[in-house]
Amino acid sequence: MMLRFPIVRGRLLIGHLLLAAVCILLGGISVYLLLAFPSGMLSAAGLAILAAVSILMPAGAYRIYLLLTAYYGITPAGALNIRFGSRREVIPLEEIEEIRSGGRISDALRKAGPGWLESWQGQAAAEGEETAEWTATDRGRSLLLLIAKHRRWAISPSDPAGFAQKVADLSARGNLEKVDPISDQHPPFILDILKTRSALAPLIGGWILIISLGVFLLAFQSGMPPDQPFRFTPSGLPSSPGNPTRLLILPLTGGVVWLLNAILGWRAWRTDQRLAAYALWITACAVAAGLWAATIFLIRAG
């Protein structure tokens, strides 16, 4: 039976749960503003708040899931299992030559470890130190550094002394079973994109253009004429006058296009078709910019 050592998560989990509660509250307020005030500055503020919450909630939900499910497990057969979000490692204990803790871990390596933005996982490299595979939420007393011939792992079990003692007991017993190492790493999509600025720019840029267009129309449509043009004739003359609220169809359409292109681009990115992903995200950004231009032309024509 596997003996599990949960990660250090107390204050982090409480903080993330409080953040989730605040996001849910802000989401409710934003929906109320949008429904209670169909147009004006309050509805524009509601849309802006909802857009911000829509970014924070998925990131917070993934981190809460990670904090609740991550652990370091030791099997009687002599295998160390690391479950950390979408990452899974199986390490034969016979490969671990040394466990370092406390002052035997350099401050440079502690500072180099990935933090909240990277969901506490990745590679930690410090000058004069070999690179370590980082799956740790603590940089202090609970941090352990597992040393093997060709790799290092930084972990943070809630009971570091008990973890180290269990590894020592199994190693001293000897005659461990043969365990095949496994390294299954699938970083979350958002983390992968955040590390690639050239991909982040068109993806986030298109989203900002769409949201800002919706905020702009909600804030100022009450001051538009009641016969606001919505289309142009082939000769370029404004036509199809009507209620200015129809202009909100433009950011809604742009939002659908952005979402579809974001999903298709994500699928292309995950299959290493990055050129196709870039093309989809740049197209969504261009569509958003075109919708802004069309909105300005229609308002000026009115």
Neighbour-count burial for 100-109, b at 16+ CB within 10 Å, e otherwise: beeeebeeeb
Sign of CA dihedral 237, 239, 242, 244: negative
Tens of pLDDT, residue by residue over 29-61, are: 999 988 888 778 888 899 999 988 988 888 888
Contact call for residues 167 and 99 (beta carbons, < 8 A): yes
Tens of pLDDT, residue by residue over 142-198, are: 999 999 888 899 999 999 999 999 988 888 777 677 888 888 776 556 666 666 778
Tens of pLDDT, residue by residue over 67-126, are: 999 999 998 888 899 998 888 889 888 888 899 998 889 899 999 888 887 788 888 888
Tens of pLDDT, residue by residue over 198-226, are: 888 888 899 999 999 999 988 888 777 77
Contacts of 166 (CB under 8 A, 6+ apart): 3, 74
Tell me how far apart the alpha carbons of residues 225 and 67 are, in angstroms, rounded to a whole number. Answer: 53
- Taking the complete model, does pTM exceed 0.85, yes or no? no
